[in-house]
């Protein structure tokens, strides 16, 4: 393991050993590819029973088990850690709030303490969420120092984890930082999320497996959306040269309605179904504020590369291939 000397500019190195917690999930799959493509060696920390990519070292552990985390860190000896493990589905927070805090907050604390005990020089990027800012109107794009106003149990758990990471950086001098990404979409995302849910329905209609009717929720809400491949590019750059003790927004810097997402998916699939509002899926209209991501762009040189059309097309292609397999 190399020792961080306090200067992020001197830390960037194309050959870090990076441990990814939650690395078998949607984002983890893309993070592995991004890190390996740029010369890093990757290992994973995962719950038992998840499929492991071929050739990737993996360690089984529950993020809530600090003793086991310490064992993993001793074995893996990572230069850096990308912390993705957590509950990512917002409704889960309302259904199981205690579990949400145990995983998202306590799990992060256990990882911080295990790092402090075993590997205090390991850089950590803890991924939280832009939802910690809430959906309240703001006079302009949200900066990292603006007031958080979370609207859900999930967002509160992520805010608490985010603030704890930054506190450990100040209190113990650990080289740790946080990333606050907006909504990210792309190939491999769970069907519980809006884009893959829409895409699957449209493909079923196109293939004749379903009637030309789509069940949807509220299409008037607005969100920022980034391709997951652009998001993991930001994570890599932050692991390489982000400043410890800092929080970084990762955003598209523009928002769009759910309706516009559906319209583009319809155009790309060539399917124009009848739209029906499903009361089970409907949520009140909200307009999540746009985030400013100037800090990430300026400090580590990150820029999103993929358009929303390219992202949606990739989702459609992969989902179509999976259905034919």
pLDDT tens per residue across span 90-133: 889 999 999 999 999 999 999 999 999 999 999 999 999 999 99
pLDDT of residue 5: 47
Tokens of 142: 């949200």
Q: Within 13 A of 101's CA, how many CA atoms are on the CB side?
A: 7
For residue 151, give Cα distances in angstroms to 105, 133, 135, 138, 239.
Answer: 17, 8, 7, 15, 29
Phi-psi map region of 290: left, alpha, beta (phi>0 left; psi -120 to 50 alpha): beta
Nearest partner of 220 among 191, 256, 184, judged by Cα? 256
Decide: 256 and 308 in contact? Cβ < 8 Å: yes
* Residues of the chain scoring pLDDT < 70: 1-14, 325
* pTM (two decimals): 0.92
In three-state secondary structure terms, 119 is: coil
Q: How far apart are CA 278 and CA 308, in angstroms?
A: 25
pLDDT of residue 54: 85
pLDDT of residue 284: 74
Q: How far apart are CA 65 and CA 50, in angstroms?
A: 18
Decide: 229 and 198 in contact? Cβ < 8 Å: no
Tokens of 229: 């491949």
274 Cβ contact list (under 8 Å, min separation 6) = 212, 213, 214
Backbone angles phi, psi at 27, to 5 degrees: -70, -40
| Tens digits of residue pLDDT in 152-203 | 999 999 999 999 999 999 999 999 999 999 999 999 998 888 999 999 999 9
pLDDT of residue 107: 97
Strands (E), the chain: 17-21, 41-46, 58-60, 80-83, 123-127, 176-181, 183-185, 213-216, 222-223, 225-227, 247-250, 256-257, 274-277
Domains of the chain, earliest start first = 8-185+226-252+290-305 (3.40.50.720)
């Amino acid at each position: 393991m190399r020792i961080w000397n306090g200067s992020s500019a001197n830390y960037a190195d194309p050959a870090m050993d990076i441990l990814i917690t939650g690395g078998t999930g949607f984002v983890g799959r893309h993070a592995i590819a991004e890190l390996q493509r740029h010369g890093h060696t990757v290992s994973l920390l995962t719950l038992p029973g998840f499929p492991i990519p071929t050739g990737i070292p993996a360690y089984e552990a529950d993020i809530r088990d600090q003793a086991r985390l310490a064992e993993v860190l001793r074995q893996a000896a990572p230069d850096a850690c990308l912390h993705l493990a957590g509950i990512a589905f917002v409704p889960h927070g309302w259904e199981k709030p205690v579990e949400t805090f145990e995983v998202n907050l306590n799990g992060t604390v256990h990882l911080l303490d295990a790092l402090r005990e075993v590997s205090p020089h390991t850089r950590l990027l803890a991924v939280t969420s832009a939802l910690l800012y809430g959906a309240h109107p703001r006079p302009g794009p949200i900066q990292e120092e603006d007031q958080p106003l979370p609207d859900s149990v999930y967002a509160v758990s992520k805010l608490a984890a985010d603030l704890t990471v930054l506190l450990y950086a100040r209190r113990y001098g650990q080289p740790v930082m946080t990333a606050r990404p907006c909504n990210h979409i792309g190939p491999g995302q769970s069907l519980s999320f809006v884009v893959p849910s829409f895409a699957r329905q449209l493909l079923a209609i196109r293939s004749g497996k379903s009637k030309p009717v789509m069940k949807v929720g509220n299409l008037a809400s607005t969100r920022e959306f980034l391709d997951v491949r652009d998001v993991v590019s930001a994570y890599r750059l932050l692991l390489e040269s982000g400043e410890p003790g800092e929080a970084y927004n990762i955003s598209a810097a523009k928002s769009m309605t759910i309706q516009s997402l559906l319209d583009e998916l319809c155009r790309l699939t060539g399917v124009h179904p009848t739209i029906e509002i499903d009361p089970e899926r409907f949520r009140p209209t909200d307009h999540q504020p746009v985030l400013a991501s100037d800090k990430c762009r300026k400090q580590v040189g990150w820029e999103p590369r993929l358009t929303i059309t390219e992202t949606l097309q990739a989702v459609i292609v992969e989902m179509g291939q999976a259905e034919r397999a």
